[in-house]
Structure 1
Amino acid sequence: MDPRSSAQDVHRCDLCETAIVHSYCDFCHVNLCKPCVVDHISDGYDKHKIVPFQKRRSTLIHSKCETHPHRNCEFQCEDCNNMFVCSSCMASKQHKGHNFLEVTEVYKAKKDDIKKDTKELENHISPTYEEIAFDLENQLASIDGGYEKLEITMSKQGEQWHREIDFIVNKMKTEISEIKVKHKELLQKHLNEIKQIQCLIKETLHALRKIEESTEVSSTIEYSSKIRELSKPPPNVNITLPTFIPKPIDCDKLYTLFGHITPLSTATEEQILLQNQPHTSDRELLDEPELVATIQTGYEKLRSVTCINEERIWTSGMTKDIKCLNIKGSTLHTILAKSGVWPSDIAVDNDGNLLYSDSTTRTVNKVKSGQTEELIRLQGWKPFNLCVTSTGDLLVTMYSHYSEDKTQSKVVRYSGSTEKQTIQFDNEGKPLYSENGSIKFISDNRNHDICVADCEAGAVVVVNQDGKLRWRYSGHPFVTKNKPFSLWGITTDSQGRILTADDDNHCIHILDQNGQFLRYIDNCDLKDPYGLCVDNNDNLFVCEYSKGNVKKIKYLK
Structure 2
Amino acid sequence: MDPNYDAQDVARCDLCKTAIAQNYCDFCHVNLCKPCIGEHISDEYDKHKIVPILQRKSTLIFPKCKTHQNRTCEYQCQDCDIFVCYDCAMSKQHKEHEYLKLEELFNKSKERIGKDKEELDRISPTYEEIAIELENQIANLDGEYEKLTTEMSKQREELHREIDNAINQMEEDIGEIKLKHHSILKEHLNEIKQVQSLMQKTLVSLHEIEESNEVSPTINYSSKVEEFRKLPLKSNVSMPKFIPKQVAREEVSNLIGKLIPLSTTLEESVFTAKKPNSLVRELLDVPEVFNTIKTGHEKICSVTCVNEEQIWTCEFTDYIKCLNIQGVLQKTIETKSRKNPSDIAVDIDGALLYSDWKTRTVYKVKDNQIEEMIRLQEWIPGNLCVTSSGELLVIMRSEDETQVKVVRYSGSTIKQTIQFDNGQPLYSGNKKFKYITENRNLDICVADCQAGAVVVVNPVGKFRFRYIGHPSPAKNEQFKPTGITTDSQSHILTSDFFNHCIHIIHSDGQFLRYIDNCDLKSPYGLCVDIF
Is the radius of gyration larger for structure 1 or structure 2?
1
Q: TM-score, length-normalised on structure 2?
A: 0.49
Q: TM-score, length-normalised on structure 1?
A: 0.47
